[in-house]
Amino acid sequence: MANCDVHLELDPTNIFRAGEPLRGILRIRTDSPVGSKAVQLEVGWKVRGHGNPGSTVTHTAVLHTGPIQRSMNLPFEIPLPNGPVSHAGARFTVGWTATARVDINWAIDPKDSVEFTLLPSASAEEPYHYGFVAPQLGADSQQPAQAAFGAPAMILGGFGAIGLILASTGAVQREWGLMLFGALFLAIAAAGLIRGFRLPRRVAERRLGKVQITVDPLQPYRGDWVRIQLQANPGPGVQTGRAKVTLRGQERTVRGTGKNRRTACHPLHESTVVLPTVGSARVPGSAQSWA
């Protein structure tokens, strides 16, 4: 069997931007004709780390078909997608790889792989949308979570039922220790329900009205200023003051599926800014704006 060496080179520094072409050259060296079907190039990304692993081939190109009669150089230019961009964090990494392979009949296919870095697009007209999630609305930039009547609710209900029975029994038998013990169970159940149903937040949103948040730009680059504006229509009798905005960045990984699904987060950034009231006087019941 003829010797066939494959060497893949990317141009010029293995660093590319989303939406731009991936340029390079594939060098094939052989000392005699090789009976091959085709020469293929695959470009894709792979996720490694604490979460579920995953990989995707985004583009496949055929650089040559048929036997290889002699050594050859095959230049190529392949458009790169909009993402995901390369990432190397504490919880997971996203890496891009280009792999060239010579499909040889009845033999192990010689191949070569080169890792490269994919940066976000430099053009503001092509925003990064891969996996993008728009900012949520509501107090603390989060919508109130729906109450879930699962295992936690059943446990809290059990605490409440036990506490009610103990407190009632203690009141009938005039045993203060039993009544206090039952009151403790009732307090635990009440605190859990208040936290689970987010009652303080619901009360605040009912008085303040629906809060709308505007972030501009949605795709900031390192060093860019971000403009954040909040708007609300508080109810009568509610006088507003300053607003506080917290900007958090985090890595979030998911491992397992179904009941074994586990989510882990790693904080990357957190900063808090106080926004003064602008646009209208602080009159109770009037529309308010913070920026």
DSSP SS3 for 228? strand
Domain residue spans of the chain: 4-119, 146-197, 209-291
Distance CA 71, CA 4 (A): 9
Q: Do the beta carbons of residue 23 and residue 11 sit within 8 Å? A: yes
Greater model confidence, 140 or 172: 172
Stated as kind and residue range, the H or E segment containing 206 is helix 199-208
Distance CA 126, CA 120 (A): 9
Structure tokens at 28: 């094939």
Distance CA 205, CA 254 (A): 31
Asked if residue 141 has pLDDT above 50, the reply is no
Instruction: Share the mean pLDDT of the chain.
Output: 77
Sign of CA dihedral 147, 149, 155, 160: positive
C-beta neighbour count of 212 within 10 angstroms: 13
Range of weakest confidence among 6-15, 68-77, 128-137, 258-267: 128-137
**DSSP character at residue 264:** E
pTM of the complete model beyond 0.75? no
Looking at CATH, the fold of the domain delimited by 4-119 is given as Immunoglobulin-like (2.60.40)
Q: Do the beta carbons of residue 278 and residue 291 sit within 8 Å? A: yes
Distance CA 84, CA 204 (A): 38
| 59-97 per-position pLDDT tens digit | 999 999 999 888 999 999 998 988 888 988 888 899 999
